[in-house]
Structure 1
Amino acid sequence: MTRIVVLSGAGLSAESGLGTFRDAGGLWARYPLEDVATPQGFARDPALVHDFYNARRENCIAAAPNAAHAALARLAHVLGPELLLVTQNIDDLLERAGAPEVVHMHGEVMRALCGACEHRWDAPRAMHPGDPCPACGAAATRPDVVWFGEYPYHLDRIAAALAECALFVSIGTSGSVYPAAGFFAEAAGHGARTLELNLDPSENSGRFDEARLGPAARIVPDWVDEVLAAG
């Protein structure tokens, strides 16, 4: 049974050098979202989209997990199936910190997807529009990420965990992107306590049972220590 559901967003990885949507001067600030993060943008200019995600993949490879990733990985090893780690992030820093399982609801930048046959594989460092799918040969390869207007992954599994958990924790999320922004209310509706750990208050911060503010690399390990001390 899932005892704790943790939802993490861009704020978890910000201290590892991976910017959020709102960072001035970051990758997202230099590209209109409709051009690089929608199916329509990919159809118009697949080379531009591949260039954008190639840059994000390089950033991911160059980044290292921070203390917050390490703390969550430690918690996952102790709690096992009692913890479900859900992330909106497309990086692999939780896995590289040692987390045994991470539910990537928005996909993974280090993975590739065939738009023709839906085969998935580990992405090369650089992808290009003409790359053939290793399974069917179609030149329809794309990053295995969920773009705006597409259906997030694993929602049935997440919903089941939200319905039975005793605690829902949101870490480093803005509270503006649905359906993830509504997870805290879904969990609370089933009787769970809700906690926000964030650098700044999210859009829904006042509706959580408790909110703790500060850098993720400090407040997440502190919270994990509390959970493990309480047993």
Structure 2
Amino acid sequence: MQDHIVVLTGAGISAESGLSTFRDNGGLWEEHSIYDVATPEAFARNPELVLRFYNERRRQLQSAQPNRAHRLLAELESRYRVSVITQNVDDLHERGGSSQVIHLHGELTKARSTRHCDLVYDIGYRDIELGETCDRGAQLRPHIVWFGEEVPMLDKAAEVVRTADHLLIVGTSLQVYPAAGLVYEVDLSVPITVIDPGEPASVSRARVIRKGACEGVAEWLQSL
């Protein structure tokens, strides 16, 4: 049976494709406070601003390309069983070739109903308009897990982590919960590697490669 490699990715891997992250900009995301564009209260207060913000992010994503780290992780599937659990809302893992991706914080290329959370639509890179509704007549919103909302894929992600033979953490500071808690779901016998150029939160027994995602993943593969 193939070893199961579970990869937990964060904003750092997407940053190397040119997508900005709010944690690198003093709590601002493209000059917007997260509290103005990434909370349910923000959407209730100013839905037009929130929709415009995510429409812009979607257009930015369309022009971005998967980088070497995305492609190297996808290529692992030829030799291993690979599951990617990402905190990112972009589709770069899928476009890079990964077939098993869990999005903890939602997906930018989807929209969902504001009243019926089971109604989710693939919209690609097009805009969501104010007044655009789901099949039951409720306004559509980005399919994003905003601050203060539950993370519906967390339990599934925890189940996947528990089956890991290797845990690779790429481009995340491990400071955003509940996603950061997934590292504690792995069996004590499982090797953990953290790839991040900064100072990620301490993970006992983890090997740390303080490099960017592309360079770090390539180095890790040489030792696999």
TM-score by length of 1: 0.88
Cα deviation per residue 1:117-149 (whole Å; 9 max; x = unaligned)?
A: 23111225211221121x22x242001010011
Q: Distance in 1 between matches of 2:192 and 2:8?
A: 11
Question: What is residue 120 of structure 1 aligned with on the other side?
Answer: 120
Partner in structure 1 of residue 47 of structure 2:
46
Q: Percent identity?
A: 40
The one-letter code sitting in structure 1 at the alignment partner of 2:84 is L
Structure 2 spans left out of the alignment, 5+ residues: none
1:89-137 Cα offsets, whole Å, 9 max, x none, are 000011111111211011100111112223111225211221121x22x
Structure 1 residue 208 displacement after superposition? 4.6
Cα offset, 1:29, TM superposition: 5.1
Task: Please tell me whether the aligned partners of residues 28 and 34 of structure 2 are also in contact (alpha carbons under 8 angstroms).
Answer: no
Secondary structure at 1:22 match in 2? helix
Change (3 A) 1:19 1:75: same
When the two chains are superposed, the root-mean-square deviation of aligned CA atoms in Å is 2.0
Mapping 1:212-231, distance limit 5 Å: 212-227=209-224
Q: String of CA shifts for 1:60-90, please: whole Å, max 9, x gaps.
A: 11100100000011113432xx321100000
1:12-55 deviation per Cα after TM superposition (whole angstroms, max 9, x unaligned) = 11111001222339961511111111111111111011011011
**Which structure 1 residue ranges, 5 or more long, are not aligned?**
none
Counterpart for residue 152 of structure 2? 153
* Aligned mates of 1:143, 1:105 — CA distance in 2: 14
- How many residue pairs get aligned? The number is 221
Number of the residue aligned with 2:75: 74
| 1:77/1:99 contact within 8 Å kept | no
Preserved contact between residue 53 and residue 143 of structure 1 (Cα < 8 Å): yes
Q: TM-score, normalised by structure 2?
A: 0.90
> Do the aligned residues in 1 keep the contact of 2:91 with 2:107 (CA within 8 Å)?
yes
Higher share in helix: 1
Distance 2:26 2:159 in 1: 39
Q: Which residue number in structure 2 is paired with residue 59 of structure 1?
A: 60
Instruction: Indicate whether 1:21 and 2:18 are aligned.
Output: no
Stretch moving more, 163-172 or 105-114: 163-172
